Structure 1
Amino acid sequence: MALPPGRLGESHARSSTSKMLGWLYRVWISLSRPLFAVALAMVAGSILILITAPGSLEDRLNTVVNAYQYLLQGSFGDPASLSYTLVRVGPLILAGLSVSISYRAGLFNIGAAGQIAVGAMTAGIIAFALSGLPGIILVPLMIIGSMVAGGIWGGIVGLLKAWRGVHEVVTTIMLNWIAFYGTDYLISGPFKAPQQSLQTPAIPAQAQLPAITVFYNQTLGQFLPPIENPEQYLTDVSLLIVLVILVAYWFITTRTAFGYEIRVIGNNPRAAKYAGIRTGRNLFLAMAMAGALSGLAGAFHLMGQAPYQLLGSTFAIDPTGFDALGVALLGRTTTIGVLLSSLLFGGLRQGGTTMQLFANVPGDLAYMLQALVLFSIASEFLPAIIRALRSRSKRAVAPAIEVPLSGPIVGDPLIVVENETVIERELEVPATAITSSDNTPEERPNVEEQSSERIEEGH
């Protein structure tokens, strides 16, 4: 039956309101744990500073305030600091997505660091071998080559997992060291710069990605107000490509059959296999995509940041691949979560130096904060606290329940449960006779019938 126009409008308004409330609830569920983890890490970091800082209590409190003030100022305080932070954020987003997509399939990708090394080395080899090509051809070839190399490196892990059941943590760790030592050999051997040690020549100029500010001045800056001193802002145009990839990741994981299948595999592999999902193929594809994203992160770092060359023994100490684990876990493998957690970890890395210089606080505090954030996430503190509060509130508002022992006979006790305390009471029945409407005595009803009537009436 069709609704009147007024009723139809009210129904549509209620539906829109319920959708908005549902969306806000999902956002709160997604952000509550990460925000609580960050707040808990900040509190724990403050306690560490209070314990280790010299001086009186007032001096120590001032040290805590100055430390976080310079940490924020060094990471997001001005446009130049923000650009330094975004330089770290771009590779972190790609590496975080690499760990996230494998984690959705039930795999733990520890090999992002090795995949970054392989991708960067492949992009460098293509740049050196095809240095005569124009940038419009060379840059896409370097990007595609790095993704293929990283995809192969990650696909090996997925193939061994699907074919022989080899645990991905073991294979990714071993492949990491193969990548580190292999790239060190290539950097110090076949591709070593003349009269230099442990470094390659800089890639050709047409293979280098410009800064966003320079690119803006060369394009939109011809019609709009240009940016002064664009060279001081180091963020390159690869960040724009990373944001496009972030949207593509959201679409693949939430709007495609492949995204649905890897979620099912990650939640219950046996149920996925029983439902006809090809688990082996999807595991291989998930790890190949993870490797391709990490390989692209290595290529972008080489192409977008000075000195535009590969340095020996740097991939093993580069924290990006291992920070990606924290980015994915803190972001709960979601698109917006990975973006926000990448900003947090990049800000901690960048602001730690400023905090150490001006607040007289060890720069290792930034690493401690990262560890405390991950510790809070892994320990599930917030869900445990919420469960405890709910259980306590339910006990506090529990209503009294009267349960008869053996029938409500006069003088028999009743069990009264009030807030988990058992109390005995006497059943009181009025002594007045039951009479009919014409004042003639009636026969007293059976006690069991009277009890059932009291129960039906809600007594």
Structure 2
Amino acid sequence: MSNRTVNILVPAISVVLGLIVGAIVMLVSGYSPVAGYSALIEGIFGDSYRIGETIRQITPYILAGLAVAFGFKAGLFNIGVEGQLIVGWFAAAYVGMAFDELPKLIHLPLAILAAAAAGAIWGLIPGLLKAHLRVHEVIVTIMMNYIALYTVNGLIKYISGGKEKLDPIQETATLRSPMLEALTDFSRLHWGILIAIAMVAVMWFIMEKSTLGFELKSVGFNLHASEYAGMNVKKNIVLAMVISGAFAGLGGAMEALGTFGYVSSKGAFTGIGFDGIAVALLGANNPIGVVFGATLFGALKNGSLNMPSAAGVPLEIVNIVIAIIIFFVASGYVIRLVLSRLSNKKGGETK
């Protein structure tokens, strides 16, 4: 069995196993799996509004997944995507709100770039600590998530004069479109999905067609061998975290400029950055795979909202089902090992 076949089968089997165990959980809890999953599918594809909302939900997941996957490619585990996304959200919302005399051709790109820059700066700090002081990026990025959350909350209250959110962004900074709203029965679908797809192409180009991508992957495979070969390992570690943070910051821009149109102080994390880890794992850290992983998670998150009302399945059970799917995705190594052994056994019998 080829590696490519295994890479396709592992996430597919993970999802199927997750859905099966999720069905068992619903059955044991006294709810109909058929009704539950029917409501899930209806929540995803039921009408144009729900399709629009599903695509809208997928958008930040693509960018969060790219952020995690980019770090993984360079041998770095960026758990700070959540914090980088939050600061990107704030930066985009602030720039979108603060400038009211700029034309859209300047204002919208400026807000998007501000989000990318904020996420990049938030990724720069753990990158520098990792490269120069050998501080493990997992510890630093976890702490940076909390710093981002409470720093942004403080900035919102300071700028707004004690309010819980900033004023809405200007029309010149929005990603929303009357045409898309009309096509999807006034859903919150916006042009951000095109930006997310463009970033998929950017990551693919960096990793597959550039010298930088070759060096980043080399550092990820073997740091010491890369250093021995003359590569600047410290520079590549910092660059990997900066680019990863920029992707995450763009994910925040999608929420600020598209979905919500403002930023509010948050009592808890959004969860998008953490789900990005599972999205990247499901996509095997491949840009194209991330699109499929994000599609699954975005569809589950949006479709599951219909399960309590249409099938009577409590939200707690819905969250358990989603968590079980994530569990099997994270256990992909075990599935890969089983497939490998079955393939080897079959090959031995053939001989």
Equivalents in 1 of 2:49, 2:304: separation in Å? 16
Counterpart residue number, 1:340? 292
Counterpart residue number, 1:329? 281
Counterpart residue number, 1:258? 212
1:178 and 2:147 equivalent? Answer: yes
Deviates more, 1:340-349 or 1:135-144: 135-144
Equivalents in 2 of 1:159, 1:369: separation in Å? 39
Is the 8 Å Cα contact of residues 108 and 168 (structure 1) preserved in structure 2? yes
Summarize the alignment of residues 269-308 of structure 1 with structure 2, pairs less than 5 Å apart: 269-306=223-260, 308=261
Equivalents in 2 of 1:366, 1:343: separation in Å? 18
Distance of aligned partners of 1:98 and 1:87 in 2 relative to their CA distance in 1, 3 Å threshold? same
Q: Residue 393 of structure 1: CA displacement?
A: 4.3
Is the 8 Å Cα contact of residues 329 and 374 (structure 1) preserved in structure 2? no
Q: 1:188 aligns with which of 157, 161, 169?
A: 157
Q: 1:241 aligns with which of 195, 199, 219?
A: 195
Distance of aligned partners of 1:75 and 1:190 in 2 relative to their CA distance in 1, 3 Å threshold? same
Structure with higher helix content: 2
Q: Residue 271 of structure 1: CA displacement?
A: 1.3
Counterpart residue number, 1:14? none
Q: 1:385 aligns with which of 338, 342, 347?
A: 338
1:317 and 2:283 equivalent? Answer: no
Is the 8 Å Cα contact of residues 330 and 341 (structure 1) preserved in structure 2? yes
In the alignment, structure 2 segments of 5+ residues that lack a partner are none
Q: 2:99 aligns with which of 100, 106, 130?
A: 130
Is the 8 Å Cα contact of residues 100 and 328 (structure 1) preserved in structure 2? yes
SS of the equivalent of 2:308 reads: helix
Equivalents in 2 of 1:229, 1:395: separation in Å? 56
Distance of aligned partners of 1:130 and 1:44 in 2 relative to their CA distance in 1, 3 Å threshold? same
Structure 2: which amino acid aligns with 1:105?
A
Equivalents in 1 of 2:9, 2:252: separation in Å? 32
Distance of aligned partners of 1:73 and 1:231 in 2 relative to their CA distance in 1, 3 Å threshold? closer
Is the 8 Å Cα contact of residues 120 and 298 (structure 1) preserved in structure 2? yes
Distance of aligned partners of 1:148 and 1:232 in 2 relative to their CA distance in 1, 3 Å threshold? same
Summarize the alignment of residues 44-443 of structure 1 with structure 2, pairs less than 5 Å apart: 44-53=21-30, 63-192=32-161, 197-211=163-177, 214-215=178-179, 232-306=186-260, 308-313=261-266, 316-379=268-331, 380-390=333-343, 392-393=345-346
TM normalised by structure 2 equals: 0.93
CA-to-aligned-CA distance 1:193-223 (integer Å, 9 cap, x gap): xxx8311111112212223xx346xxxxxxx
Equivalents in 1 of 2:89, 2:221: separation in Å? 33
Structure 1: which amino acid aligns with 2:286?
T
CA-to-aligned-CA distance 1:235-285 (integer Å, 9 cap, x gap): 101111211111111111111111111111111111111111111101100
Q: Residue 27 of structure 1: CA displacement?
A: 4.7
Is the 8 Å Cα contact of residues 126 and 137 (structure 2) preserved in structure 1? yes
Equivalents in 1 of 2:9, 2:183: separation in Å? 40
Provide the aligned C-alpha RMSD in A.
2.1
Q: Residue 158 of structure 1: CA displacement?
A: 0.7
Is the 8 Å Cα contact of residues 352 and 364 (structure 1) preserved in structure 2? no
Is the 8 Å Cα contact of residues 105 and 283 (structure 1) preserved in structure 2? yes
Distance of aligned partners of 1:397 and 1:332 in 2 relative to their CA distance in 1, 3 Å threshold? closer
Is the 8 Å Cα contact of residues 238 and 304 (structure 1) preserved in structure 2? yes
Structure 1: which amino acid aligns with 2:252?
G
Counterpart residue number, 2:6? 29
In the alignment, structure 1 segments of 5+ residues that lack a partner are 1-21, 54-59, 217-226, 399-459
Question: Could you say which structure has the greater relative contact order, defined with CA pairs below 8 angstroms and 6 or more residues apart?
Answer: 2
Q: Residue 141 of structure 1: CA displacement?
A: 1.2
Identity, % of aligned positions: 33
Equivalents in 2 of 1:264, 1:370: separation in Å? 35
Distance of aligned partners of 1:229 and 1:89 in 2 relative to their CA distance in 1, 3 Å threshold? closer
SS of the equivalent of 1:190 reads: helix
Q: Residue 233 of structure 1: CA displacement?
A: 3.1
Aligned residues between the structures: 350
